[in-house]
Chain A
């Protein structure tokens, strides 16, 4: 099997910080003109994490692409909607309620969460639609948070919930809404405790932009992107398999597990290949084979030993 060597990105191709910051400043000013309050909180603050051996050394997807090509239906269904429509969203103050089958249920403030031992995690992200990115997240293992609330022995699953804030999330208003709110997701407890599973609070050296799930989101790199729920307000430990939004929307097409798997096609399209966003161009699309568990099989395949991955898609 041929080994893929990622092309090295030339230093000259990286947008200098002052240029993208000046764009950000312009956008911020423009947003402030439209929105009375809340525009300032959309500005990112620098954030640092320590390196991690879980990071890939593949070429990063340019920040411009990571922050302009998003699925975040709370802000609209077009890929450009989240970046365009999230200027009003105010991610601070924020808190995450952790409850359910735990010994010490409590609420975590964002000031506290941002002080968790943060790590840089450069992960592949594979969307169920057939595209992928490589994103430098900053976050901490979900297990570190779960440890603090002391899950009970009866807890088998973890469920997650996104904020509902129609006044700041235009996708949650109007008569034509593609999904039910709040957006909910879930993991098996062992998946949630896996060291690859993180709660991300930043990317590209800064706090999370609104369109990427500010101020805190889940990242489960071996599952399709929709599992990595954004703007989390509630985490509950439960005994039964929790409801998940896309499965509720279409159970035939989206399963609870939704592990990246080139051998199990989506009913309507193939999952064998993926298009790497930001690579190639108009006349040279960067298609590549999709890897089982998104390339994290060594770390996570044991979680599903003996399971029929076609039936448990």
Chain B
């Protein structure tokens, strides 16, 4: 119950952000946000009733893809409504919550050696850079996106 409410509250916050930051009128982004909330909830519910453990992200992605794919009823409306919600308007609340959670790790951080901090940065760089590089090489080989 609590999580359902949380989803709608976050949706409301994203709506405000979409309105202020990307000039989409409140009522115009309402259907898109509601659809996103419903898809998210279906994905969460589905993960819960499955007899085995699985990542919720997978199911939400799949349901969102399905609902907007050409063979699903009403897909054009769904896709158009969700397209009105700017990706960045959904990302800002994520990082705002992330910010509010930062303080809990500050005292742990103070105990870390500088070496692990350097290693962290290298690890972050490695995963981003290598994936980008590998994708770029495949695209070059395939002659795509040149």
Q: Do A and B bind each other?
A: no
